[in-house]
């Protein structure tokens, strides 16, 4: 299940201060590392979406205690259920699953030629991906889609963003099964190289009502359905967790 908030325009600058007591100690520390109030608001909302999902799906009422892996991946101190958080200036998302999961949301406008010139592309994309980007009718959209796919995969595996980022979609491990908007990309992912079953399912999600690009990576298993999205209002988390 994916929980998301899009009505961020209604947030007041001091929202994170009101919500601070609803966070566990580790998230409080992480939130204070951000200098801008908007970034602190996004950090707080991600945690509150996690609380909401845990309450709705598992009946958790207490603030979950988070621990962070060597590469910064957050997880619950008991290790289960699995979750992933992502945000951009227009949305905050939380994915919950019984197996490892990674999610990413991004704005195509952040990948325009002026923001990401050709000289920067090799730091993120391999030669074939760069060819796709430069030949696409929507250059920014293609670059954004590939970025979201890479980041959600790295979050799912827990490896984080590394120097190998240009090759995370094309290397032999883990094997990927592409779904949703990603199936139209002619990428040499491992599923095209081997007959072995895919290990991970990578979904590209298209929101017709917004300019956002989403990607969700989950552990592959039989009968895994397309992801379900549930929109949450800021008022919902305020009513449940803020006093």
Domains and CATH numbers, the chain: 1-85+225-243 (3.90.470.20), 100-220 (3.90.470.20)
Tell me if 93 sits within 8 A of 4, measured CB to CB.
Answer: yes
Q: What confidence category does residue 15 fall into, taking pLDDT thresholds of 50, 70 and 90?
A: very high
> What is the average pLDDT across 116-137?
91
Residue 32 has what pLDDT? 96
Report the percent of the chain where pLDDT is more than 90.
58
Residue 208 has what pLDDT? 62
Can you read off the two tokens belonging to residue 119?
């000289």
Q: Is the pLDDT of residue 194 over 70?
A: no
Tell me if 149 sits within 8 A of 120, measured CB to CB.
Answer: no
Query: What are the pLDDT digits (tens) for 55-71?
Result: 999 999 889 999 988 77
Query: What are the pLDDT digits (tens) for 28-56?
Result: 999 999 999 999 999 999 999 999 999 99
Q: Is the pLDDT of residue 78 over 90?
A: no
Average pLDDT over the chain reads 88
HEC assignment per residue over the chain? CEEEECCHHHCCCCHHHHHHHHCCHHHHHHHHCCCCHHHHHHHHHHHHHHHHHHHHHHCCCCCCCEEECCCCCEEECCCCCEEEEEEECCEEEEEEECCCEEEEEECHHHHCCCCCCHHHHHHCCCHHHHHHHHHCCCHHHHHHHHHHHHHHHHHHHCCCCCCCHHHCCCCCCCCEEEEEHHHHCCCCCHHHCCCCCCCEEEEEEECCCCCCEEEEEEECCCCCCCCCEEECCHHHHHHHHCC
């Amino acid at each position: 299940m994916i929980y998301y908030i899009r009505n961020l325009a209604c947030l007041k600058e001091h929202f994170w201060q009101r919500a601070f007591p609803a966070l566990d100690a580790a998230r409080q520390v992480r939130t204070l590392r951000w200098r801008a109030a908007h970034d602190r608001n996004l950090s707080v909302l991600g945690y509150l979406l996690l609380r909401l999902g845990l309450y709705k799906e598992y009946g958790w009422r207490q603030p979950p205690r988070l621990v962070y892996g060597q590469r910064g991946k957050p997880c619950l101190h008991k290790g289960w259920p699995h979750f992933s958080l992502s945000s951009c200036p227009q949305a905050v998302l939380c994915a919950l699953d019984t197996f490892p999961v990674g999610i990413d949301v991004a704005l195509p406008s952040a990948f325009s030629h002026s923001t990401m010139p050709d000289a920067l592309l090799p730091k993120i994309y391999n030669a074939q991906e760069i060819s796709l980007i430069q030949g696409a009718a929507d250059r920014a959209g293609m670059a954004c889609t590939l970025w979201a796919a890479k980041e959600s995969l790295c979050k799912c595996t827990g490896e984080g963003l590394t120097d190998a980022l240009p090759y995370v979609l094309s290397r032999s491990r883990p094997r990927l099964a592409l779904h949703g908007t990603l199936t139209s990309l002619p990428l040499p992912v491992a599923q095209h190289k081997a007959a072995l079953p895919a290990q991970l399912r990578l979904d590209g999600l298209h929101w017709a009502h917004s300019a956002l690009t989403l990607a969700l990576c989950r552990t592959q298993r039989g009968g895994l359905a397309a992801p379900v999205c549930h929109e949450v209002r800021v008022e919902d988390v305020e009513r449940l967790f803020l006093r």
